[in-house]
Amino acid sequence: MSEVQRQVEASPSIGQISFDTRDLTRWDSNLLVFLTKLIVEAERRGIEVDRAGLPEGVGRLLALATAVPTRKDMGSAGKRVSLLTRMGTGALAAWREATAMLAFLGEAFVALLKFLTGRARYRRSDLLLVIQEVGAQALPIVTLISFLVGVILAYIGAIQLQQFGAQVYVADLVAIGMMREMGAMMAAIIMAGRTGAAFAAQLGTMQVNEEIDALTTLGISAMEFLALPRMLALALMMPLLCVYADLLGIVGGAAVGIGMLDIGPTQYYLRTAEAVGLDSALAGLIKASVFGVLVAMAGCLRGIQCGRSSAAVGAATTSAVVTGIVLIIVSDALMTVIFDLIGL
C-alpha cells in the first residue's frame, strides 16, 4: 500500500485508483487510517477512487468514517470575539430574560385574578399538599438555622457591648435584627434552596416528560394548574415561617444572654419586649410575604423554561436557587430604603 501512496504523490497524471485485495488475509485499524488519508488526498487532487476491490468490512467502515464531514470549527483555535460583540450578546440575552420574566409576571397576575374570582382551574388537594411541603415539613431546617442565627447575633453583639458594660442590650440587638431583617431573610433563603429548587425540578421534569404539553393540549393553563398553587402556598406560609424564625432567633439570643452574659430571664424578656414594636414586626412580615412570592415565581419560572433533557433540569434547579437569592437580596434592599422613607 505504501507503493500506491508513492505513485499517487509521484504521478500527478493518475486518473483513478483501484484496489486488489485478493491476497489480503488480515487487516487492522492502520489500514483504515491509511485508506482515509489516501482518499482525502485523492479527492484533493481530483483522482477517482474505486472502492470495489476492498474487503466488505473495510468498505463499510470507510463509508461510516466518510459519511459525516469533519467540522471546520472544531478545536481550540478560533476567531476571538470582540468586546463589542460580547456586550451585544449579553445585552440581547438580558433583554430576552427580562421579556420572559415580564411575560411570566403577566400570566401570574392573570392567574391570580382568576383565583380571586373563583375561575382558576387547579386542584385544592394540590394546594394543601404544597402548603404541607413548604410549611410543616420545612420547620426542622428553619428551627436549626434560625436558632443558630440568633446565637451568632448575640455573640457578635456581646463582643462589642461588653467593652462598655452594656451587654444587656444584646436582647435589643437580637430582637430587632431578627424581627426586621434576619428572620424573614434567613427563612426566605432556606426556602429558595429547599422549596424553590424543588419547584424548578418538579416542573422541569414535567417539561421533559411532556406533561406540561399534555395540559396545554387539553386546554388547561399550566400557570393556573401547576404554578398558582405553589405561589399561593409559599406566599401564605412565609409570614408564618418568618414569625417562627423570629421566635427561634430570639430564643437563641436568650440562650447566650442568659447562659453566658449573666442576664436574668425577666430582664432579657423585658428588654426584648421594649425593643420590638409593631412597626418592626410588620416590616418583617411584609418582607417575608414578598420573599415568598419571589422565591415561588423564580422556581416556577425556571421550571417552565426548562429544556428537554436531564441536564436542563439540573441547570433549571441551579438557576432557580440563584435567581431566588438574588431577588431576595435586591428586594430586601429596596424595601429597607422604602420603609426608612415612610418611617416604618
Report residue 66's pLDDT band, with 50, 70 and 90 as the boundaries.
low
Arithmetic mean of pLDDT, 28-37 = 75
Q: Clarify whether residues 16 and 117 are in a common domain.
A: no
Residue 316 has pLDDT above 50, yes or no: yes
Q: Clarify whether residues 169 and 304 are in a common domain.
A: yes
Residue 41 C-beta-side C-alpha neighbours within 13 Å: 16
Between the two ends of the chain, the Cα-to-Cα distance in Å is 89
Domain count across the chain = 2
Cα–Cα dist 132/232, whole Å: 12
Arithmetic mean of pLDDT, 122-144 = 87
Q: Clarify whether residues 220 and 293 are in a common domain.
A: yes
- What's the CA dihedral at 137, 233, 321, 297 to 10 degrees? 170
Residue 27 has pLDDT above 80, yes or no: no
Helices 310-342, 278-304: inter-axial angle, 10-degree rounding? 150
Q: Clarify whether residues 172 and 277 are in a common domain.
A: yes
Could you tell me if residue 169 is inside a domain? yes
User: Which residues, 6+ apart, have CB-to-CB distance to 143 below 8 Å?
Assistant: 244, 248
Q: Which of 46, 65, 84 is the last residue of a domain?
A: 65
H helices of 25-182, in order, are 29-45, 56-65, 83-116, 124-134, 139-161, 170-177
Q: Phi, psi at residue 49, to the nearest 5°?
A: -115, 120
Report residue 76's pLDDT band, with 50, 70 and 90 as the boundaries.
very low
Could you tell me if residue 72 is inside a domain? no
Q: Clarify whether residues 235 and 321 are in a common domain.
A: yes
Higher pLDDT, 63 or 303: 303
Q: Clarify whether residues 133 and 237 are in a common domain.
A: yes
Percent of the residues in the chain that have a pLDDT greater than 70, as a whole number: 91
Q: Clarify whether residues 28 and 139 are in a common domain.
A: no
Which residues share a beta bridge with 48? 16
Arithmetic mean of pLDDT, 213-234 = 85
Residue 69 has pLDDT above 80, yes or no: no
Higher pLDDT, 279 or 69: 279
Report residue 147's pLDDT band, with 50, 70 and 90 as the boundaries.
very high
Could you tell me if residue 202 is inside a domain? yes
Q: Clarify whether residues 101 and 57 are in a common domain.
A: no
The whole-model pTM stands at 0.70
Kindly report which listed range (51-65, 124-138, 282-296) carries the lowest average pLDDT score: 51-65
Q: Tell me what pLDDT residue 244 has.
A: 92
Q: Supply the DSSP symbol for 137.
A: G
Residue 80 has pLDDT above 80, yes or no: no
Domain that holds residue 36: 2-65
Could you tell me if residue 74 is inside a domain? no
Cα–Cα dist 102/325, whole Å: 19
Higher pLDDT, 344 or 113: 113
Q: Clarify whether residues 276 and 178 are in a common domain.
A: yes
Could you tell me if residue 84 is inside a domain? no
Q: Which of 65, 83, 109 is the last residue of a domain?
A: 65
Q: Tell me what pLDDT residue 83 has.
A: 82
| Cβ contact 89:97 at 8 Å | no
Could you tell me if residue 75 is inside a domain? no
Query: Amino acid letter at 264?
Result: G
Could you tell me if residue 210 is inside a domain? yes
Q: Clarify whether residues 22 and 145 are in a common domain.
A: no
Residue 150 has pLDDT above 60, yes or no: yes
Q: Tell me what pLDDT residue 224 has.
A: 84
Q: Clarify whether residues 20 and 126 are in a common domain.
A: no
C-alpha distance from residue 78 to each of 68, 70, 83, 87 (Å): 21, 16, 15, 19
The tens digit of pLDDT for each residue in 243-296 reads: 999 999 999 988 888 888 778 888 888 888 888 888 888 888 899 989 998 998
Arithmetic mean of pLDDT, 45-56 = 73
Q: Which of 65, 80, 105 is the last residue of a domain?
A: 65
Q: Clarify whether residues 199 and 257 are in a common domain.
A: yes
Cα–Cα dist 19/38, whole Å: 12
Could you tell me if residue 81 is inside a domain? no
- The highest-confidence range among 4-13, 32-41, 163-172, by mean pLDDT, is 163-172
Arithmetic mean of pLDDT, 98-126 = 84
Average pLDDT, the chain: 82
